[in-house]
Amino acid sequence: MTSAFPPLKNDLLLRAARGEETERAPVWVMRQAGRYLPEFHEVRAHHSFFEVCRTPALSMELTLQPIRRYAGLIDAAIIFSDILVVPQAMGMEVQMNPGPYFPDPLVTPADVEKLTKHVDVDKELGYVYEAITITRKALDGQVPLIGFCGAPWTLFSYMIEGGGTKTFQKSKTWLFKYPEESKALLMRIADVCVDFLVGQIKAGAQLVQVFDSWAGELAPHDFEQFSLPYLKHIATNVRSKLAAAQIPAVPMTLFPKGANTALASLAEHAGYDVIGIDWCIEPSEARRLVSDKVALQGNMDPNVLYGGKDAIEREAKRMCEGFKGGKSVKGWIANLGHGITPGRPGRPPLVLRMCAQILD
Ligand SMILES: Cc1c2[nH]c(c1CCC(=O)O)Cc1[nH]c(c(CCC(=O)O)c1C)Cc1[nH]c(c(CCC(=O)O)c1C)Cc1[nH]c(c(C)c1CCC(=O)O)C2
């Protein structure tokens, strides 16, 4: 399969993900394909969000937009899709208007009956695989292609809250009132994620990232119970299924946003090659906590982009120095600490340039 793809010309991301020293830090931006790009609006004016996700040629086009616009400045592409395609594959309706909306969320554990019993992930999400395969070919080895999924706890919260939330009241009611039923549902989601990531890797994804965007909403001991075991399950089973199918493993990244108290334990036990960090921890402190067990990704506050040129330069420099550790860059992927916001900050290339010049 792999031999069918053009050879990779820029492997900075993959080397950094494996913890190797790199001549400069590879750079990509979470949510790099999206609403801050005029060309994105152009496509979205004619197609609904999930229509784009389900149409491989459109997903490919949006994936390639930032690669074209920032040619030579971005070291990875991430496939255009969404974490909420997994609840859809499990039988739930999800709309985007403009944020995620589930008309029929899971209210009580009895509602789990409404989910599809045995999800045929490859059939339900085959459109993502197809998008990955054609995009990897179109990239022509320029940069590696990242696949992704949401983490079980983050997806669980959307499926129960029915959309975004500030309080997590409904999803936490489940955790505290129905812990066993919650764990069973988290495991069902985790199993779908395993098949989905394996499918994406078979289709051509060269690194995969698991987004636990709401990890930091859990108390540390609740994270240990309701998120960590499922994150581990995903890492372990993706690797074992790939090995059984004789497909080479790819690096795996975990983005446990806000779970900085868990960093040391995640690096030790979770089974990922890279951990993405947000801006609420100093890079040097994060490195101290994880030692050299994993590579790190992050971590500039996306709002720095609104601060103007001087602020951006200052903060980019601070971030670079924090991750650098001596003269060399080792096991660091430069990124924001969360997704770039839609407000057209207009300056991501500047940040990228700053990062790319780390060794100057
Ligand atoms: C929580 C989450 C979601 N989706 C995702 C997460 C995890 C990362 C994070 O925490 O930001 C992940 C995601 N969503 C999208 C990508 C595409 C790849 C990329 O460029 O990074 C990725 C990796 C496209 C998208 N997903 C969405 C958009 C904007 C929708 C539009 O086109 O109108 C895009 C480009 C919609 C979406 N999808 C989701 C929300 C909350 C929203 C609305 C708010 C927002 O825009 O940030 C769920």
* CB distance 133 to 204 below 8 Å: yes
**Residue to mutate (ligand 1; options 53, 63, 82; most atoms within 8 A of CB):** 82
ipTM exceeding the 0.95 mark: no
What residues does 54 pair with on adjacent strands? Answer: none
Report the distance separating Cα 224 and Cα 229, nearest Å: 7
Rounded to the nearest 5°, which phi and psi values hold at 49?
A: -55, -50
Q: Can you give the pTM of this predicted structure?
A: 0.96
Report the distance separating Cα 196 and Cα 201, nearest Å: 9
Token pair belonging to 4: 């069918």
Indicate which residue's Cα is closest to atom 18 of ligand 1: 80
pLDDT per residue as tens, the chain (360 positions)? 545 899 999 999 999 999 999 988 999 999 999 888 999 999 999 999 999 999 999 999 999 999 999 888 899 999 999 999 999 999 999 999 899 999 999 999 999 999 999 999 999 999 999 999 999 999 999 999 999 999 999 999 999 999 999 999 999 999 999 999 999 999 999 999 999 999 999 999 999 999 999 999 999 999 999 999 999 999 999 999 999 999 999 999 999 999 999 999 999 999 999 999 999 999 999 999 999 999 999 999 999 988 888 888 899 889 988 998 766 789 999 999 999 888 766 556 666 666 655 444
**Chain centroid, CA 360 distance in Å:** 29
Residue type, 57: A
Report the distance separating Cα 26 and Cα 3, nearest Å: 24
Cα(271) to ligand 1 centroid in Å equals 25
Is 33 near ligand 1, meaning CB less than 6 Å away? yes
Cis amide prior to 237 (ω within 30 degrees): no
Cα(52) to ligand 1 centroid in Å equals 13
Nearest CA-CA partner of 210 in 30, 56, 11: 30
Residue type, 86: V
Assess whether 44 carries a catalytic annotation.
yes
User: DSSP character for 11?
Assistant: -
In terms of CATH architecture, what is 2-356? Alpha-Beta Barrel (3.20)
Element (H, E) at 330: strand 329-330
Is 217 near ligand 1, meaning CB less than 6 Å away? no
Is 163 near ligand 1, meaning CB less than 6 Å away? no
Report the distance separating Cα 186 and Cα 153, nearest Å: 7
Cα(82) to ligand 1 centroid in Å equals 6
- How does DSSP assign 34-95, residue by residue? STT-HHHHHHHTTS-HHHHHH-HHHHHHHHHHHHHHTTTT---EE-S--TTHHHHHTT---E
Residue type, 245: A
